[in-house]
Amino acid sequence: MPLTAAMPTADLAHDEPRPYLWTMNFGPQHPATHTTIRLVLKLDGERVVDAMPDIGYLHSGFEKLGEHLDYNQYVTVTDRMNYVSPMANNVAWHLAVEKLLGIEVPPRCRYLRVIVCELSRITDHLLCLGAMGLDTGAFTHFIYAFNPREWICDVFEALCGARFTNSYTRVGGLMYDATPKAVAMIRDFLGRIPKPLADMDRLLGRNRIFRDRTEGVGVLTREEAIRRSCSGPVARASGVTRDLRRDDPYLGYEDFDFDVCCATAGDCFARYMVRMAEMRESIKIIRQAVENLPAGPVNVGDDARVILPKKEAVFRTIEGLITHFELVMGNRGFEVPCEEVYCATEAPNGELGFYVVGDGTSRAYRARCRPPSFIHLALFPHLIRGHMLSDVVAVLGSLNVIAAELDR
Amino acid sequence: MTEPETIAALKRRFPDLTVSEFRGQTRVVAPPESIHDVLTELKEHLGFDLLIDVTCVDYLNYRGAKDRFGLVYVLTGTETNRRIIVRTFVNDPEPTVPTAVDLWEGANWLEREVWDLFGIRFAGHPDLRRIVLPEPFAAHPLRKDYPLQGRGERHNFPVITRAES
């Protein structure tokens, strides 16, 4: 295949000729794009006339892989999609698979999944807000945000042994049950997290420089947010009061008392404030879930025929060995209906949905991921038009675009 | 308007729709000629104002499938919070459906992705270019007849040495 310069100019070409405009290449290796995204900016002096995102630098064919890995194996790939909050992706994938298979997970598993989802919401928002501060010149804020992320990584390590790419869920349950030590660590985390959040609030919430750079920048109205398919904090900052945890409850979110955080301004600062407020709501949810954590099994029973037996059983008993064999062999596996489902969760960035098509085998026929970052980066040209070059990083930071999820 | 009323209203306007349900999800299958009208009706009169996803499934080896590609639109209402999945089937050669960008701007990139990975054309799309793959890429890799390891695109990729750059 020849390597030609695929300069994406179609968006810019139909403008009338304005020879004084500059074309600037922002990225793909710019530190403020966080990962590899290229933006072709058309500048009039320092004012951005048009922007043209060019994505695909991290395209790794995850959806194609989903058709070749079985339902449990693919969870390791979902870790790599939004690697800032891998737990949320694990839960989203296995919820979709369980919906296809018609499995209802036990209450303890639901509560533990809620806890890890909300912890990953906090990690995601901490990274987004910290990096947004960093991009707009507040380096200290970034360090304040990254410190508590470390505590959450420690909790994840105690839960499943991995800090970053967790792969914690399994079809019909979790890899491991939470140990008392892990629960104690979550309690300890809940006691410690309010202070750094208050510090972050005091550092940036009323910071003149930060507010000047974010208020009124990248305004998204409610109508545009709906027309452009936004979801999550980006839509809620524009006044779309839609939160799947409340509106389409999954995992028993209706048991918890929490508020849906919204703003009406729709600018970068509103998105910052919504994310800030959501972390406090997440803490509320985790506290309720930890205090009411049900006892009992964490996986569905043997009747569902989806849970792999424990390794001791596989190595020491014939029943365990045969069960393992039956579930792992390519021509055996789960009983999957020839059907398709769409299942969505409220991931930190917005609606993360999986459209799973089953064909009777133990591999998905199609594993479509609806990535929120992809939809939100499509907003970028709309948000940045007419603003200054220095606002590019503020807008990009407030959208929290994760390129690995964007390209998949 | 409840779920059955919505379906009944839709069926009155478009009698040739097939409606099915699985695990509480309503799916509607529309012929490709009327897909745009169905989407318009759902958006304008039945309250499904948010386009969640546009995607495609290649049913090449699927058991019992009669058509090659199934296009999937996932819609939801911001007021009602109900979901509906609208599907349509298209076939080789030149699978084409009308674009939904005039209804939802959010369909723009989603349709570009479907074109890139499945090769389905969206008639009337303002900017139908590849999105994740490079423009000279010859195939549509999420089609089922495309192998997992590719057709030598990486193998044939010219390596630029430091001296040439």
Question: Does B157 sit within 8 Å of A353, measured CB to CB?
Answer: no
Question: Do A190 and A266 belong together in one domain?
Answer: yes
Chain B nearest CA to A109, separation (Å): 21
Contact B133 A59 (CB under 8 A): yes
Residue type present at position A157: E
Closest to B49 (Cβ–Cβ): which among A3, A226, A377? A226
**Nearest-neighbour CA in chain A from B85: distance (Å):** 8
Q: Measured between beta carbons, which residues in chain B are less than 8 angstroms from residue A28?
A: none
Shortest Cα–Cα distance, A382 to chain B (Å): 11
Question: What is the pLDDT, as a whole number, of residue B12?
Answer: 85
Q: Which of B51, B132, B136 sits opposite A407 (nearest CB)?
A: B132
> A27 with A36: CB under 8 angstroms?
yes
Chain A: closest CA distance from residue B83 (Å): 10
ipTM of the complex: 0.89
Domain annotation for chain B: domains and CATH numbers: 3-156 (3.30.460.80)
Whether residue A359 and residue B133 make contact (CB cut-off 8 A), yes or no, is: no
**pLDDT one-digit tens code per residue, A187-231:** 999 999 999 999 988 888 888 888 888 888 888 999 999 999 999
Short-list B96, B99, B89, CA closest to B39:
B99
| CA atoms within 13 Å, Cβ hemisphere of A358 | 23
Q: Does B141 touch chain A (CB under 8 A)?
A: yes
My answer on whether A142 and A281 are in the same domain is yes
Q: Sign of the C-alpha dihedral, residues A202, A203, A207, A210?
A: negative
pLDDT > 90: percent of chain A: 31
What's A199's domain CATH number?
1.10.645.10
CA A49 – CA A252 distance, rounded (Å):
47
What does the pLDDT read at residue A155?
92
What is the secondary structure of B84-106 as a DSSP string? EEEEEEE-SSS-EEE--TTT-TT
Contact B23 A341 (CB under 8 A): yes
Q: Indicate whether A242 pLDDT > 70.
A: yes
The band of A327, judged by pLDDT with boundaries at 50, 70 and 90, is: confident
Is A278 within a domain?
yes
Touching check for B39 and chain A: CB below 8 Å? no
Q: How many structural domains does chain A have?
A: 2
Contacts of B153 in chain A (CB under 8 A): 1
Instruction: For residues A9 and A126, state if they share a domain.
Output: no
Range of the domain at A8: 3-54
Helix axes B35-44 and B3-13, enclosed angle (nearest 10):
140
Q: Are A266 and A77 in contact (CB under 8 A)?
A: no
Q: Which of A252, A275, A301 is the last residue of a domain?
A: A301
For A108-161, what is each residue's pLDDT tens digit? 999 999 999 999 999 999 999 998 888 888 888 889 998 999 999 999 999 988
What distances in angstroms separate CA B25 from CA A155, B66, B71, B84, one per listed residue?
36, 22, 17, 7
User: What's the predicted TM-score (pTM) here?
Assistant: 0.89
Q: Which chain B residue has the Cα nearest residue A10? A: B127
Q: What is the mean predicted confidence (pLDDT) over A393-408?
A: 86
Residue A324 lies in a domain: no
Q: Which two tokens stand for residue A40?
A: 């072709």
- CA nearest to B122, candidates B133, B135, B132, B109: B109
